[in-house]
Amino acid sequence: MRKILVTGGAGFIGSHLCERLLGEDAEVICMDNFYTGSKKNILHLLDNPYFEVLRHDVTMPCYIEIDEIYNLACPASPDFYQVNPIKTIKTSVMGAVNMLGLAKRKKAKILQASSSEIYGDPKVHPQKEDYWGYVNPVGVRSCYHEGKRCAETLFMNYHIQNKLKVKILRIFNTYGPRMQTNDGRVISNFIIQALRGEDLTVHGDGSQTRSFLYIDDLIDAIVTSMNTADEFTGPVNIGNEVEVSMLDLAERIINMTGSSSKVKFIKSREDDPSRRKPDISLASQALDRWKPSVALDEGLKKTVDYFRNVIL
């Protein structure tokens, strides 16, 4: 059996990935320091004899026996990664160094969960992988932006210098069950506010856009990427090409939940991108014709049902 390490394995994305890999007859080690991850996300996996939980911080070296590494460890929402920006950038950079060192020692293939945030507030739309981004290196979001950018650099240099087998995925906004209720991401915020009958807080005038990918589609892309030919390293965009404004999203969720909530406009976030949409043509070509299959309304309904059970 393949021995697979998933860093950040108790997080929103990581827990779904652990579940998927166990279903594919792998032995899975879930590494997490539980800074933002939750034991509740992996409780249903604990009885599986091929699942192991390792409480460990990726900023510290780790010496274990593995065949593959999925490096997902890092706070991903602004509300979390801005609380301790030094820890955030250490997690991205030192975590990458330590996991790449482990992969080098064990001759293991390793995947980096990068982010659309490396594009900053893009001046090119939609964003393609050859766009270098427009990023404020000293802003409130830079701990995450620059941490992810540096991690990509490390991955490519380990690949070039040490012939390490690497994969780099630039993940765009993802949503679905097991998102935390307090992580500050827009979909979870809107759904919780709507279910509680509170005003939906929209930053700015609500015209800013995002493209949302359902968690199942992301996990398909992650696993497919790891199984592609070693020659394809990425970086590759993983996201949904359907673009939606924040005001439109708020109104969809109000209608879907049957809520009496209203939209309340509040101050814009600093360095908040005005538009974000991936060009996923490379993913479609390189990842066995991968493309999202879950429509936004379908995914939102599943996510609403999840939060309805969690908070009501």
Query: What CATH number does residue 44 fall under?
Result: 3.40.50.720
Cα–Cα distance measured from residue 263 to residue 254, given in angstroms and rounded to the nearest whole number: 9
- Does residue 207 sit within a domain? no
- The range of the structural domain enclosing residue 223 comes to 3-174+214-240+277-292
pLDDT value at residue 81: 80
What digits encode the pLDDT tens for the residues 4-40? Answer: 999 999 999 999 999 999 999 999 999 999 999 999 9
Written as one letter, the residue type at 64 is I
pLDDT value at residue 271: 76
Cα–Cα distance measured from residue 30 to residue 180, given in angstroms and rounded to the nearest whole number: 18
pLDDT value at residue 148: 96
Cα–Cα distance measured from residue 97 to residue 88, given in angstroms and rounded to the nearest whole number: 14
Task: Provide the annotated active-site residues.
Answer: 144
pLDDT value at residue 75: 86
pLDDT value at residue 131: 96
What digits encode the pLDDT tens for the residues 169-218? Answer: 999 999 999 999 888 899 999 999 999 999 999 999 999 999 999 999 99
- pLDDT higher than threshold 90 for residue 268: no
pLDDT value at residue 63: 95
Classify the C-alpha dihedral 214-217-223-227 as positive or negative: negative
- pTM, two decimal places: 0.95
Residues whose CB is less than 8 angstroms from the CB of residue 170 and which lie 6 or more positions away in sequence, other chains included: 114, 115, 116, 118, 119, 129, 234, 235, 236, 237, 238, 278
Element (H, E) at 142: helix 142-162
- Does residue 188 sit within a domain? no
- Does residue 103 sit within a domain? yes
Q: Kindly report the CA angle at 189 between 186 and 192, in degrees rounded to 5?
A: 145
- pLDDT higher than threshold 90 for residue 78: no
- Does residue 122 sit within a domain? yes
- Does residue 283 sit within a domain? yes
The tally of domains found in the chain comes to 1
- Does residue 307 sit within a domain? no
Contact between 230 and 308 under an 8 Å Cβ cutoff? The reply is no
- Does residue 115 sit within a domain? yes
pLDDT value at residue 281: 97
Centroid of chain to Cα 76: 7
- pLDDT higher than threshold 90 for residue 86: yes
Cα–Cα distance measured from residue 208 to residue 227, given in angstroms and rounded to the nearest whole number: 35
φ, ψ (nearest 5 deg) of residue 196:
-90, 0
